[in-house]
Structure 1
Amino acid sequence: MTASDESLDLARVAAQAAADKLAQEVIGLDVSEQVVITDIFLVCSGTSERQVAAIVDGVEEALLKDRSRKPLRREGERDARWVLLDYGDIVVHVQHAEDRAFYALERLWRDAPALDLEVSDGRPEGESADPA
């Protein structure tokens, strides 16, 4: 069994919203074979607590505006180091870059296939990610 089309759609909207807030390494993992309670883990990171909070706000706003979805549960907002947004079909993990390196969710879920989220990098056309 693979993630449903609806789950993939939600993940793409959330991923683009995260990218629009300049989230780093936005990836989607199809965990529908390994986990009963959700289809997709969306994982991304920010370089500061402030950016993590902005990414979370962007994801929540986009899913509410574009798909009329509110998170069923959210955890970690107070510290803004690792915020989890549970939408049922997808679970969004927004982590501080240091915590992401430490916990390595991609390694933990390495058996889950990566998804093509069709995300642009959130930067204006012609602007590169590398300022050098």
Structure 2
Amino acid sequence: MTASPKAVEIAQIAARAAVAKLALDPVAFDVSERLAITDIFLIVAATNERQVGAVVDAIEEALLEAGVKTVRREGDRENRWVLLDFLETVVHVQHTEERALYALERLWKDCPAIDLGELEPAIGS
């Protein structure tokens, strides 16, 4: 089993929204063969708590515009590691320190990477 096209689309929209808010190093993994609860994990980093919050808000807004609602949101009080659950895709927005400490990429490195497409923010946006 591989990630559904809808899950890939959600990850791509979320990654573009995150990068538009200057999130760092977006990476996505197809975890559908390892987990029954979701198809894709998207991981992005931000350099401070305020930016984590801005990235989270941008992702939720972009996906809501695409007709995808957040099912669950955790960790937004501290804004150090916020998890956004969109069912098919789970987004982890981590402070750079948390990302280095927990190294989710290392845990999921055996899973296929997802092509997130063009992520550079448009000039002037």
TM-score (norm 2): 0.96
Q: Is the 8 A contact 1:30 1:40 kept in 2?
A: yes
Identity fraction in percent: 55
Aligned to 1:22: 22
Letter in 1 for 2:48: S
Structure-to-structure mapping, 1:1-132, within 5 angstroms: 1-65=1-65, 67-122=66-121, 124=123
Q: Distance in 1 between matches of 2:5 and 2:92?
A: 20
Structure 2 regions of 5+ residues with no counterpart? none
Structure 1 runs (4+) greater than 4 angstroms displaced: none
Q: Distance in 2 between matches of 1:93 and 1:122?
A: 20
- Aligned-residue CA RMSD (Å): 1.1
C-alpha deviation, 1:124, in angstroms: 2.2
Q: Which has the larger radius of gyration?
A: 1
Q: Distance in 2 between matches of 1:119 and 1:23?
A: 14
TM-score (norm 1): 0.91
Q: Is the 8 A contact 2:15 2:119 kept in 1?
A: no
Letter in 2 for 1:121: E
Q: Distance in 1 between matches of 2:38 and 2:71?
A: 12
